[in-house]
Structure 1
Amino acid sequence: MMLNYFDQFASPIFLGVPLIALALTLPWLLFPTPSTRWLSNRLTSTQGMFISTFTQQLLLPVNKGGHKWALILISLMIFLVSLNMLGLMPYTFTPTTQLSMNLGLATPLWLATVIMGLHNQPTHALSHLLPEGTPTFLIPILIIIETISLIIRPLALGVRLTANLTAGHLLIQLIATAALVLLPLMPTVAFFTMILLFFLTLLEIAVAMIQAYVFVLLLSLYLQENI
């Protein structure tokens, strides 16, 4: 029996080996490999159509110089969606509920966009720290505020993804436990609770996909500011 509802977010260990490595590797094994045939199967065609459509939508507001990031962003999007969706299955572990992992994904990519902006156009990159027409006495305060807001971006990316997935998983766990307890006592109430659980699961599936999209979309917006 689960002693703590938050135990489901602890990284499982088997024979002293953290299973988070297996959870991170599994999604790549589920995707079909590209084929050189003219006619491919439905799964490969659907995957190609999804990647093509998402790439067009994601890179639409990004300048041509940022299109070289398409492979990284699309791979990250598919990876996050896979992890989030697999984490909704019974007896599985969701690595994206770990803040350390999300920060490990967000920080290097955010830092790469900042370094690229400082290298290619340092004046334009530094101009974001001070809006045009700022009064002289407000310049030091605004520079500090904008610097903090710039540094906090990867933290916001990681916390947003972690908080949304953790809250959804925890709510599903609470409602499922309530339905199980109410089933022998009040079957009618338990039935409506299970209906609520079903719709909540559908909502969590949508959240799992939307949060992965938002994560990559914000990274593309940070990229647009530095190219």
Structure 2
Amino acid sequence: MMTNLFSIFEPSSSSNFPLNWISTLLGILFLPSLYWASPSRWSLLWSKLITTLHVEFKALLMFSHKGSTMIFISLFSLIVFNNFLGLLPYVFTSSSHLTMTLSLSLPLWFALMIYGWLNHSNHMFAHLVPQGTPPALMPFMVLIETISNIIRPGTLAVRLAANMIAGHLLLTLLSSTAPSLGLSILSILITSQILLLMLESAVAIIQSYVFAVLSTLYTSEIN
């Protein structure tokens, strides 16, 4: 019996297996069939997606180091695999936890900040004061820009976790009313659940893309 609606997101509630966080790595199991087996439509589709993301991220990145786009493509792949795995029954949704999302956003933001302050200190200081700011407002603008910069990894993590939690909660709330409904209302509920599942599939891709794109846009202040 669930004592709390949010207990469905507890690591201990999905199963008695203590290592259910290992579901985060399940996406890796899908890769060998895509790249080492004979070419298929799925492998061609995934290669086309990676090529498209590479072109887009390369245009957004402010530095042109070799392989820099692969960091964000790998980040996108990891998040989208976890989001889709969380839609399967009895699979632990790791991307709905701040522990997981902060582990992705915080090290990336911290590495970008260290790189920027060590190699482009003048640019980093210049971004703290927008162009055309009156001298009297400069101390306040520095404070505001510093706070907005510090909370960026938190906003990235909360955006992803909140969107995944919202959809799962809605699906859980609707399915919990099924035993008390009649046959006609139950058919409507099942149809709405299928539509919500399609919406959650779209959200899983969109949120992964937003997370990766915003991470690339944060590089604009370090160069």
After TM superposition, the score normalised by the length of structure 1 is 0.89
Q: Is structure 2 residue 189 aligned with structure 1 residue 193?
A: yes
Amino acid at match of 2:92: F
Q: How does 1:146-165 map to 2 (within 5 A)?
A: 146-165=145-164
- Taking only aligned residues, the RMSD between alpha carbons, in angstroms, comes to 2.0
CA-to-aligned-CA distance 1:39-92 (integer Å, 9 cap, x gap): 733332222122112221222222452553211111111110000000000011
Q: CA deviation at 1:127?
A: 0.9
The one-letter amino acid of 1:26's match is L
Is the CA contact 2:54–2:73 (under 8 Å) kept in the aligned structure 1? yes
Which residue number in structure 2 is paired with residue 218 of structure 1? 214
Q: Point out where structure 1 has 5 or more consecutive residues left out of the alignment.
A: none
| Partner residue, 2:137 | 138
Match of 1:28 in 2: 28
Query: What SS does the aligned partner of 2:169 have?
Result: helix
Q: Distance in 1 between matches of 2:110 and 2:171?
A: 35
2:72 aligned partner, one-letter code:
L
**5+ unaligned residues in a row in structure 2: which ranges?**
none
3-state secondary structure, aligned to 1:3 = coil
Q: What displacement does 1:26 show?
A: 1.2
Give TM-score scaled by structure 2 length.
0.91
2:6 aligned residue: 6
Q: Distance in 2 between matches of 1:12 and 1:18?
A: 9
CA distance in 2, matches of 1:195, 1:41: 32
Residue 205 of structure 1 is matched in structure 2 by: 201
After superposition, residues 1-227 of structure 1 pair within 5 angstroms as 1-12=1-12, 17-20=18-21, 22-32=22-32, 34-35=35-36, 40-65=39-64, 68-182=67-181, 186-227=182-223
The amino acid across from 1:83 in the alignment is N
* Residue pair 1:66, 1:223 contacting (<8 A) in 2 also: no
Paired residue secondary structure (1:85)? helix
Match of 1:132, SS state, is: coil
Question: 1:23-52, CA deviations, whole angstroms, 9 ceiling, x for partnerless residues?
Answer: 1221111112634x9x73333222212211
Alpha-carbon distance in structure 2 between the residues aligned to 1:98 and 1:116: 28
Could you tell me how far apart the structure 2 residues matched to 1:43 and 1:19 are?
Answer: 27
